[in-house]
């Protein structure tokens, strides 16, 4: 696979450390409404996560495999686009994660 500038930037920002946060972010938006790969990459970029399709799609597929997301194909002009929505299991997982994230944020920000 060809390495591009954004790949090395992505590596520098520690993909492993942030992959859980990105998963929760995807799940959050998939609860609110349908998400698709490119739109989600743009949304994550807006939050400062530079993510290539090679990283994003495995995250989406992983969440789908776990039963947190369900994907359907939707026509977008001439091409088909895969859109993802949270399942009831995904909603439940997000609610549980929110409690943990709130606790973590409390600790991280202690004494700041």
Binding positions for Zn ion, rule: CB under 5 A: 43
Measured from the CB atom, is 33 or 77 closer to Zn ion? 33
Nearest CA-CA partner of 13 in 40, 42, 44, 48: 48
What is the DSSP secondary-structure string of 80-108? EEEEEEE-HHHHHHHHHHHHHHHHHHHHH
Q: How far is the CB of 77 from Zn ion (least distance, A)?
A: 25
Q: How far is the CB of 2 from Zn ion (least distance, A)?
A: 29
Measured from the CB atom, is 78 or 102 closer to Zn ion? 102
Q: How far is the CB of 28 from Zn ion (least distance, A)?
A: 7
Burial of 85 (0-12, 13-18, 19+ CB in 10 A): middle
Measured from the CB atom, is 7 or 43 closer to Zn ion? 43
Q: How far is the CB of 39 from Zn ion (least distance, A)?
A: 11
Distance between CA atoms of 108 and 112, rounded to whole angstroms?
8
Position closest to Zn ion via CB = 43
């Amino acid at each position: 696979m060809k390495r591009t500038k954004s790949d090395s930037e992505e590596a520098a920002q520690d993909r492993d450390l942030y992959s859980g946060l990105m998963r929760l972010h995807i799940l959050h938006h998939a609860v609110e409404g349908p998400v698709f790969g490119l739109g989600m990459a743009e949304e994550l970029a807006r939050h400062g996560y530079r993510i290539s399709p090679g990283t994003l799609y495995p995250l989406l597929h992983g969440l789908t495999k776990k039963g947190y997301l369900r994907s359907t194909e939707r026509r977008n002009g001439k091409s088909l686009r895969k859109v993802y929505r949270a399942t009831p299991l995904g909603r439940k997982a997000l609610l549980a994660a929110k409690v943990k994230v709130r606790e973590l944020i409390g600790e991280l920000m202690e004494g700041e």
